[in-house]
């Protein structure tokens, strides 16, 4: 109990003397804030990308591609194959019809709004079943394309990132002209970066004959996936890969996630080393400046423990302030910032917003506190070991 009281008294005294040492304290705070800001901002890229790739991918939606294809881009299925897939066991049926959509996936060059340079925007040809397989797709402006017409609907993220995709615009790709008749949302998922049209219109435009690249099927339940997959792989007329949509999308975000994760953590770790040295500096000079004060306390009978705790508390306090400031800065600068990047597996653009999540902020704060702990520990021990007599003699 006495120990607690001593600790509280010494700590309070320390913190009260902070304003007198504001220059040095500010340097430590800025150091912590810088590390946390960079850490949070860089990882918010991965969070944002993951949000887009992860929100839609449904457990009970299956994706069928030609065997050996790593993405829809390199896949190819005949009309006959897509029919066999749709009739497989495990596919949900509504009014007797399988809920499924055979689709084409190509890219078109559309200029980026920010730079004016051409970007590979995904153009997806779908069947009417697409809207049943993906109930999250919802027209927010205009209407759906009509079957058999050169009409497209555009995801809201694509419309905001790329130029010329406004409602009512006419686009010329190849020999055909397409009209934007609707804008759609897809629950914040990857389809919002896409342009959709009727697969049967896209086939001749891209000289695909009657072929498709993928079949999306709604399953009766997440558990029926295995039966569905087994049936297809056992079918001698097919040579296909079957995955859950959620797994397919997770695999696609892996490259970017690991790149950003490796870079973000490496940069943050290196910066943290630098900032920890800065903090050590601040705390050592704080201890040196208060050497006489500490010695006086020790001479008065205060124990070493409370002195150690008080120095640590000061360092942690600075780290906390720095971490909060850094997190707030990252949140203000990065959160919601819209951008787009290349999804290497499909060679096409994915639009997303940076996301500063509470978990990231907590992580950043933890990082700051760790730096504060390291930065305060050695000076604290030095303070407690300071010989009382020579401390008192200090000018």
Partner 1 sequence: MKYLPLLWRNLMRRKARTLFTFLSVAVAFFLFGLLMAVKNGFEAGIEIAGQDRLLTIHKVSIIQLLPLRYLEQIRAVPGVAAATHSTWFGGVYQDPKNFFPQIAVEPEELLDLYPEYIVPSEQRQRWVATRTGAIVGRKLAERFGWQVGDRIPIQPTFWRPQDGDGDTYEFDLVGLYEGATPDVDETQLFFHHDYLMERVGDMGQVGWYVVSVADPERADEVAQAIDGLFANSPAETKTTTEKAFMQGFAQQVGNTGALLMAIVAVVFFVILLIAGNTMAQAVRERTAEVGVLKTLGFTGPTVLGLVLGESLLLVGGAAGLGLILIWLAVPGLRPLVETFLPVFYVPARSLALGASLAVALGLASGGLPAWLAMRLEIVEALRRR
By the criterion CB under 8 A, which residues form the site for partner 1? 23-24, 26-27, 30-31, 34-35, 37-38, 42, 68-70, 73-74, 76, 106-109, 112, 114-115, 117-120, 173-175, 206, 255, 259, 262-263, 266-267, 270-271, 273-275, 277-278, 280-282, 284-285, 339-342, 344, 347, 349
**E-strand stretches of 67-150:** 93-94, 97-98, 100-111, 118-126, 137-142
Beta strands 118-126 and 100-111 are: antiparallel
| Minimum CB distance to partner 1 smaller for 145 or for 352 | 352
| Minimum CB distance to partner 1 smaller for 144 or for 382 | 382
- Sign of the four-CA dihedral 377, 383, 386, 388: negative
Phi first, then psi, for residue 64 (nearest 5°) are -115, 125
Beta strands 195-198 and 118-126 are: parallel
Report in angstroms how near the CB of residue 218 gets to partner 1 at its nearest. 27
Tokens of 178: 């397409």
Query: Residue 75: which residues within 8 A CB-CB, separation 6 or more?
Result: 65, 66, 69, 105, 213, 214
Report in angstroms how near the CB of residue 262 gets to partner 1 at its nearest. 7
Tokens of 374: 């390291």
Report in angstroms how near the CB of residue 349 gets to partner 1 at its nearest. 7
Q: How far is CA 114 from the centre of its chain?
A: 21
Report in angstroms how near the CB of residue 30 gets to partner 1 at its nearest. 5
| Minimum CB distance to partner 1 smaller for 68 or for 135 | 68
Report in angstroms how near the CB of residue 234 gets to partner 1 at its nearest. 20
Tokens of 22: 């504001």
Query: Residue 359: which residues within 8 A CB-CB, separation 6 or more?
Result: none
| Minimum CB distance to partner 1 smaller for 100 or for 354 | 354
| Minimum CB distance to partner 1 smaller for 132 or for 152 | 152
d(CA 274, CA 321): 18
Phi first, then psi, for residue 144 (nearest 5°) are -70, 160
Report in angstroms how near the CB of residue 66 gets to partner 1 at its nearest. 9
Report in angstroms how near the CB of residue 280 gets to partner 1 at its nearest. 5
| Minimum CB distance to partner 1 smaller for 227 or for 263 | 263
| Minimum CB distance to partner 1 smaller for 27 or for 392 | 27
């Amino acid at each position: 109990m006495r120990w607690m009281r001593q600790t509280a008294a010494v700590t309070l005294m320390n913190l009260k003397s902070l304003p007198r040492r504001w220059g040095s304290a500010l340097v430590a705070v800025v150091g912590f804030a810088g590390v946390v800001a960079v850490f949070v901002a860089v990882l918010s890229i991965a969070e944002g990308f993951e949000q887009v790739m992860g929100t839609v991918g449904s457990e009970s939606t299956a994706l069928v591609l030609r065997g050996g294809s790593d993405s829809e881009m390199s896949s190819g299925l005949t009309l006959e194959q897509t029919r066999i897939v749709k009739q497989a066991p495990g596919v949900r049926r509504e009014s007797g019809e399988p809920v499924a959509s055979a689709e084409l996936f190509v890219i078109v060059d559309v200029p980026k709004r920010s730079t004016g340079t051409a970007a590979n925007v995904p153009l997806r040809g779908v069947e009417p079943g697409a809207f049943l397989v993906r109930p999250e797709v919802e027209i927010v402006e205009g209407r759906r394309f009509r079957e058999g017409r050169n009409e497209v609907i555009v995801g809201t993220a694509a419309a905001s990132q790329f130029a010329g995709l406004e409602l009512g615009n006419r686009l010329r790709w190849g020999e055909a002209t397409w009209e934007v008749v609707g804008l759609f949302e897809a629950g914040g998922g990857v389809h919002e970066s896409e342009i959709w049209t009727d697969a049967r219109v896209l086939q001749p435009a891209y000289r695909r004959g009657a072929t498709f690249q993928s079949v999306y099927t709604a399953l009766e339940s997440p558990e029926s996936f295995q039966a569905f997959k087994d049936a297809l792989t056992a079918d001698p007329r097919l040579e296909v890969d079957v995955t859950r949509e959620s797994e397919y999308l997770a695999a696609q975000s892996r490259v970017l996630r690991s790149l950003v994760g490796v870079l973000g953590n490496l940069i943050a770790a290196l910066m943290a080393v630098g900032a920890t040295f800065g903090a050590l500096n601040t705390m050592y000079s704080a201890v040196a400046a208060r050497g006489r004060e500490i010695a006086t306390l020790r001479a008065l009978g205060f124990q070493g423990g409370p002195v150690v705790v008080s120095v640590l508390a000061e360092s942690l306090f600075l780290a906390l302030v720095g971490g909060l400031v850094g997190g707030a800065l990252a949140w203000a600068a990065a959160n919601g910032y819209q951008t787009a990047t290349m999804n290497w597996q499909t060679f096409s653009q994915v639009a997303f917003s940076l996301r500063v999540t509470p978990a990231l902020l907590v992580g950043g704060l933890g990082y700051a506190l760790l730096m504060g702990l390291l930065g305060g520990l050695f000076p604290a021990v030095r303070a407690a070991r300071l010989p009382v007599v020579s401390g008192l003699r200090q000018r």
